[in-house]
Chains A and B, each alone.
Chain A
Amino acid sequence: MTNHHDFEPISAEDIIAHARSTEPSAMTSPGSPDNREPDGWMEAAFATLPASEMFDPAVLAAVELLMNDCESVTVKARQRLVEGADRGVRWRHRLDNHLGNLLRKHRCARQLAPSDIAARIGTTAPLIAEIETGAKPVQSLTPEQVAAWIRHVSLEPTVALAALRGTHPSDNASASDARPSNEGFTCDVAVALGWSFGRH
């Protein structure tokens, strides 16, 4: 196998120069609209791989130098794009106190993978990821599993219960008042966490 270190470049510009130098410049033509060599497996495989895991940083820098596409944006198109971005920003902001998001932040802070959580509480990693992003409700798990998850990532029960209830702890007078008003699932999680209607 050829080792790229034999060809170690100095910079992104060197890589581009090397790619260009192997053949004299020639006229190019668009050709047929679909002139790519079809290779389903390889395309799908590349789609699953983050670029940072495959390419030298200098290669990625060279790609950035070559990816200089730009076009003028109409007022209407710009407005549309801004609206899309605004929706995303607002959505994420609302997510700040969402239980799945809090669990995700605490998991990441502890450098745990979704599979670690899944193994711990007896479920699957994809379900963990879906609950974290809000694609699936936390009620997809049992109250005991949710409680185990909360404990495993060391999320403060007061904060977790408030998020589950859809409110923020600061809305309450004190932590002891953060009893689950949402009878049912929240209450069951509180019990599984060792809370008994306000008594820790």
Chain B
Amino acid sequence: MDEDLIKAAKAGNERAGAFMISLYGPKLLGYCRTIAPDLGDVDRELICEQAVETACRKIDDYDPGKSRLHAWLRGFVRNGVRAWRRGPASQVSPLLVDPGAGSLPPITKTGPVQSDLRVGQLAAAVRALPPHHQLLIALRFTEDLPTYEIASRLGISDAAVRQRLSRLIRQLRTQVEGQGDLGVA
């Protein structure tokens, strides 16, 4: 199904848009509500509208070997919400925000020169975690789920999720700092 959708979008098929929304519209809106429950319906719809437009523009960048189409599309919604939260002054065009290419603003809080090295170290540290810990990190930091949502989906307590995440974050920080003594804030 995804393959047909991608082919249709790449071919410029006039029904590709409707096809995509039939498959993913409810899921993207639902996801947007989950990560941005404080926004109104109109704002969430606008974010999703921009997300699907950007995704269709960038459909050539989608790599099925790296993620499911649904996950890729969620990235555009997520970036839309992040841009929204940064405020009107920093609401860049979603065209410039590509979830797969790391095009969000560079990390500058502790020094842009060191950021690439630290980010690589962080990725390595996450990869070394047991899968069930990776899962928590993915849900919290990649999917942007609030801790109570993670707790609800896993059927465990919010306190347990917070506690585990806190421990994992501390562990990751220690590893990144330990490798480079870079003073992660």
Contact = CB atoms under 8 A, between A and B. Distances in A.
A28 B152 contact: yes
B89 interface: no
Interface in A5-55: 6-9, 15-16, 18-20, 22-31, 33, 35-37, 39-55
A29 to B, nearest CB: 6
Contacts of B160: 22-23, 26
B91 interface: no
By secondary structure, the A interface counts as helix
A19 B146 contact: no
A6 B59 CA distance: 38
A173 interface: no
Main secondary structure of the interface of B (DSSP, over half): helix
Interface stretch (A66-74, A141-149, A161-169, A184-192): A66-74
Interface size class of A (residues with CB under 8 A): 35 or more
Contacts of A85: 16-18, 20-21, 52-53, 55-56
Contacts of B110: 41
A71 B26 contact: yes
A112 interface: no
Contact of A42 (B12, B29, B101, B169): B169
B119 A45 contact: yes
A110 interface: no
Interface stretch (A87-95, A151-159, A175-183): A87-95
13 contacts: A25-B155, A26-B157, A45-B119, A49-B123, A54-B137, A60-B68, A64-B68, A84-B51, A87-B56, A88-B54, A88-B56, A92-B12, A96-B12
Interface of A: 1-4, 6-9, 15-16, 18-20, 22-31, 33, 35-37, 39-56, 58-60, 62-64, 66-67, 69-73, 77-78, 80-93, 95-96, 133, 135
